[in-house]
Structure 1
Amino acid sequence: MINELHTEDEIKTAYKVIKQLRSHLKEQEYLALVKEAQEKENYKMVALIVENEIIAVIGFQPMITLYYGKFIWVCDLVTDYNHRSLGYGKQLLSYLHQWAKDNDYESIALSSGLQREDAHRFYEEKMNYDKVSYVFKAPL
């Protein structure tokens, strides 16, 4: 089952999976960031649930830029360590592809850390994503 998470309690239940990707975030900081992103950036969080347990989570933002046009930015995508390579990430991205089509978005984009070679293979080989740019970041 795939459900969008809305309430603080629902979002809190996703923390045990999200922290596997965002290990630098403490739970209260995570909750505050999700709430602010939902309010200010239209951030959405969706969970794949198996036997009442969250197995995988995707967080995304519908956006519009001159470069991509109307698109979806994937902010977070993680499957629980104990359930990787079982197709759950593909299910969530496929769900997002359909959500994007249903809501008139043209494409989906994401960034992935340079060291995450397994994830890159997944995006390119399993999901047919193209590598189109580098992402640069500067601390302020």
Structure 2
Amino acid sequence: MNSGLRPGKRGPGRKGDAATGRAAYRLGLRAETLAALLLRLKGYRIIARRMKTPAGEIDIVARRGRSLAIVEVKARGGGEAAEALGPRQQRRLERAAAHFLGRFPQFADLDLRFDVVLVVPRRWPRHLGDAWRP
């Protein structure tokens, strides 16, 4: 019996499905909006959102005083959001930050740091300032 799926293809509702991809995209947008709101309430000025660089996308670039925060937003259905940022993604964000600073040298004098905002359902987002050092 042929289920209509080709070998190597994922079934409906699985990761990779168009509807699932759209839902994940919307979830990401909502999470980034909540994260930006949280940062504004904490006194940050949002410099950029969804900043695309050759090394990848930076979710949020925010400034407060002499600090420039490169912020990765992690939205998850459960508590595993904190584990979602591994060393490989950290290196990618560091390269993206270098591209950002090369493109916008007026921010190069600020203290650069890498933050994470964790967004899980029915909870206020959690800001992990200075989450790691390169």
- Output the TM-score relative to the length of structure 1: 0.36
Higher strand share: 2
- Output the TM-score relative to the length of structure 2: 0.37
